[in-house]
Amino acid sequence: MTALAVRGLTHAYGGVPVLRAVDLSVSPGEVVAVVGPSGAGKTTLFRCLTQLVRADAGTLELFGTDLQQAQGKSLRLARRDLGLVFQSYNLVRRLTAMQNVLVGRLADVPAWRVLLRRFPAADEALAAACLDQVGLLPYAHTRADRLSGGQQQRVAIARVLASRARVVLADEPVASLDPASAASVLTALRSLATDHGKAVVCSLHQVDLVAGFADRVVGLRDGRVVLDVPVSQFDPAAASALYARAG
């Protein structure tokens, strides 16, 4: 079964085409890495996938629901199956790691509990388990702004895990991290697919990180998919062809 299926996704900003008929699919338990030079359309693709930007044309099916057609409440419900990991982590700085993971539970908790920050014991237990999963249980009560970049990104991954979203989209999650932190973040993302059966789509600009992380590599260039291969076939020659200057 396909978790997320994108067909013919096309988008332009002010008449300038950014995405040209992009096809992309990902199955539960699979990690797809999206690579390509700057300006290839990776960020726009991710904004369209989450419907933060509505694409001009194409279909975007999430477990059979076309997000391009969904609106209002049905879109809100469908989007609950999407978890997003951002380049800038997007944690609430003055909340603890644990309280940030609990953001993933907001939809299912009554408003008065959210206002008082008193979550049901089951949700707290789930949040703690998610933090443990990314190796940060000892930091549960540390404020987010006291954590390193790599730790903050792992809290963000635990937040996605706590939301029980079945498809995880990670937009350049390691772009501002040092190599060791980047490795720990990618390990945590990999385990979302391997241990929890999530479908993961992750954009990267360091092609050397792809091996040992992704199952499949999709190369984007000038808004087109120019490469869609198993990771074993993504060799240095394929990478340099993708990044070679046009003309």
Query: Judged by CB under 8 A, which of 5, 70, 114, 129 binds other proteins?
Result: 114
| 168: enclosing H helix or E strand | strand 167-171
Longest pairwise C-alpha distance within the chain: 61
Q: Determine, following the binding rule CB under 8 A, whether residue 117 of this chain makes contact with other proteins.
A: yes
Sheet holding 57-62, edge to edge: 16-26, 4-13, 57-62, 65-66
Residue 216: CB minimum distance to other proteins, A: 24
Name the residue nearer to other proteins (CB basis): 117 or 245.
Answer: 117
Residue 160: CB minimum distance to other proteins, A: 9
Interatomic CA distance for residues 76 and 65, integer angstroms: 12
Chain centroid to Cα 29, Å, comes to: 14
Q: Do the beta carbons of residue 130 and residue 101 sit within 8 Å?
A: yes
Binding range to other proteins, per CB under 8 A, among 18-26, 71-79, 125-133, 225-233: 71-79
Residue 163: CB minimum distance to other proteins, A: 5
Query: Judged by CB under 8 A, which of 77, 175, 211, 244 binds other proteins?
Result: 77
Residue 144: CB minimum distance to other proteins, A: 9
Comparing C-alpha atoms, which of 105, 67, 196, 86 is closest to residue 152?
Answer: 86
Residue numbers 158-217 binding other proteins by CB under 8 A = 159, 163
What are the phi and psi torsion angles at 105 (to 5°)? -100, 0
Query: Judged by CB under 8 A, which of 7, 54, 80, 146 binds other proteins?
Result: 80
Q: Determine, following the binding rule CB under 8 A, whether residue 241 of this chain makes contact with other proteins.
A: no
Burial of 244 (0-12, 13-18, 19+ CB in 10 A): exposed
Q: Determine, following the binding rule CB under 8 A, whether residue 82 of this chain makes contact with other proteins.
A: yes
Beta bridge partners of 171: 203
Residue 212: CB minimum distance to other proteins, A: 28
What is the contact surface with other proteins in residues (CB under 8 A)? 50, 52, 76-77, 79-80, 82-84, 86, 88-95, 103-107, 109, 111, 114-115, 117, 156, 159, 163
